[in-house]
Every structure is written in structure tokens, then in C-alpha cells.
Amino acid sequence: MRHIKTILFLSLVAVLILTACGAKTPAPAPATQKPAAKPFGEAACGPNCAYKDMTMCFPQLGAESDWRTADTASFKSEAEKDGFKLVFSDAQQKQENQISAVRACIQQGVSVIALPPVVEDGWDAVLTEAQNAGIPVIIVDRSVSADASMYVSHIGSDMVLEGQRAAAEFNKKFPSGAKILELSGTTGSGAAEGRAKGFRKDLASNIQIIDSQTGNFTRAEAVPVMQAFLQKYKAGTDFQGIFIHNDDMGLGAIEALKAAGVKPGDLFIVSVDGTRGGFQAMIDGWFQADVECNPLLGPQVAEMALKIMNGQSIDKNVLTNETVYYPDNAAQLIGSRQY
Ligand code: AHR
């Protein structure tokens, strides 16, 4: 016991002596100087990147319409003009194909991904993968429901406003009310959901949408949908108008209407896009208005992508400036339409 007390006493004395002599715990090693973080998306060549340094991934959603064909052409010709590499794929309107294409682009280490999402939901996982790989994503044309922090910007049309513009045409035409049909775009897509929402928001309460079916934005699928409508409802009696979410479906609907003996002008038809086909339908008396949706997004997206690579600031949401076209000057304008 005496022994233990002595050891404890000596230890205490040693601690006191060391403290008095200023013994210190070793100082932490100096932190290594980290370079200032580059803004998200800035490439290694930033802030002096040129188009030749850019590889843009463009996993196009499909080739379902003349609008889409013009959109694809706009990206391809911009890449050729500016001299950047475009990694193009066609997902045939299937989200799983688009997701695989995005993953392949991440593997490849592209500079930027311009994603036109076929539907709004279901992008969180792949957007996180792109973010983790440091690849900026620009959402193009349609919208996504993912949080805005998961992509750098969105460039495209205001689909809700397009629906509101269509509603305004029906409200003007039918001040005393009417019954109408809706031929809608791809279910779950930003374009169809936005247009349907804007349309319902502004449509007068005395105008009733008696039925709404999807034609998936294609001419081929719109034909049987319109035929089924015509079996169920008598044109002119049961309904007086149709809101059609794009020109291709409008042309399909016209095929079915013609076959059923309906004449141009018997129904009030408003479509969306403003393609040459839509202009011809106005000239022929089938469409009474065509709400513009501009597909020529290539130049804007390329310019923004280069800015991102150079660490420059960009807007989070860039909306395309659009209008409504009418039959009265359709013949005059059709020659200058680019799509
Ligand atoms: O997302 C834009 C829409 O998609 C266009 O209105 C339609 O034509 C296309 O298929």
C-alpha cells in the first residue's frame, strides 16, 4: 500500500513539473491550401472554354412529331455550326431509354447534358448521379418535378401559358358556353400536364370539357382516339369544339373527322405548335387558332452550356417568347415557317 501511494505521489509530481515547463500537446499540422472551388459545372478549360472543348449529351425523347424533328435538327445544326460534339440518341418516347442514355453520357464524361424529359417524374436518381459526377444538366423543353437544385437551368416553353392561350380562344368564341373535347399529349409529360392545367385554369365556367383522351402527341395515335370520340359523341350536337395539344395529333384528328363527313369549320379547333402542318390546317379551315410552341432551342442551349463551362452565371428558368397564330394571315406566313 505504501508502495502504491509513493508511485501515485511521484506521478503527480512529474505531471506538475511537465506542466510548469510548458510541455504542450503537439500543434496540428498546417492545413494544406485548397484551391478556390470552381463554380458548379465549370470545366477544366474554364474560364476560357470554347465550343471545340464541349461535348454535349442530347438524349432526345423521341421523333413523335414535326415539332420534335425540328427540335432535333436545331441541335444538330447548331453543333455543326459551332463545332462542338453532340452525343445524340433517340429514346422513342420511353423514359427508361432516356435514363440509360444519360447514364452512358455520365460514363463517357461529357461536358454537359441537355435533357428533354419525356415525363416529369422519376428523374431524381439519374440527376443525382450526374451531379455526383460533376456534370451539369440543362432541362430542355418539358419540365421535371425534381427539385430545382438537381439541375442548373431549364430552357423551354411556358406550357401552362400555352393552355391559357388556348382557353382564351374558346372563351372568345363561345361567350354563351359550349361543350368541347380535349385530345391531350403524353400523360405525365410537362407539356400535356402544363397545357391541361392552364386550359382548365382560364376556361370559362360555361364551357364544359365533356371528354379528354391522350393521343401521345402522335398523328397515328390520334386517329383512333378521334374515331372513338366520334362514335360516342355527335360532332356539332354533343360537342362544338376540340382543344388538341399538338399539330400532329390535330392532323390525325382531321383524318378521322373527314372520314366521318365532318367539314372544315363545323367544329372550333385550337391546336398547339405552329408547324407548317398546323398552318396548312388553318389555311384549309380546320384549325381556328394555333398556339405557338417553339422547338428551335439548339442555339440558346449551346450558348448557355458554354457559359456554364466557363463558370459564368446563368438564369435558372429561361422561357421562350411565343404567340398565337390565326387563319387570316396563315397563307402569308406559311412560306417563312422553319418547321
Ligand atoms: O414538348 C413539346 C411538345 O412535344 C410539342 O408540342 C409536341 O409537338 C411534341 O411532341
Cα separation, 142 vs 245, whole angstroms: 14
Average confidence (pLDDT) over 300-306: 98
| CA 35 – CA 89 distance, rounded (Å) | 37
pLDDT at 219 exceeding the cut of 50 = yes
Pocket probe for ligand 1: among 61, 195, 246, 292, the residue whose CB has the most ligand atoms within 8 Å is 246
**Ligand 1 centre from 187 Cα, in Å?**
12
Residues 56-76, mean pLDDT to the nearest whole number? 98
Q: Distance from the CA of 159 to the center of ligand 1, in angstroms?
A: 10
Structure pTM? 0.89
pLDDT at 296: 98
Please give the pLDDT value at position 24. 41
pLDDT value, residue 26: 43
Helix (H) or strand (E) holding 280: helix 276-283
136 upstream amide cis, omega within 30 of 0: no
- 145 has pLDDT over 70: yes
Q: How far is the centre of ligand 1, averaged over its atoms, from the C-alpha of 191 (Å)?
A: 7
Q: Answer yes or no: are the C-beta atoms of 277 and 248 closer than 8 Å.
A: yes
Q: What is the pLDDT of residue 36?
A: 66
Amino acid at 267: L
Q: Which residues line ligand 1 (CB under 6 A)?
A: 64-65, 67-68, 141-142, 191, 217, 246, 248, 272-273, 293
Residue 6 pLDDT > 60, yes or no? Answer: no
| Alpha-carbon span 73 to 118, nearest angstrom | 18
pLDDT score recorded for residue 33: 59
Average pLDDT taken over every residue of the chain = 92
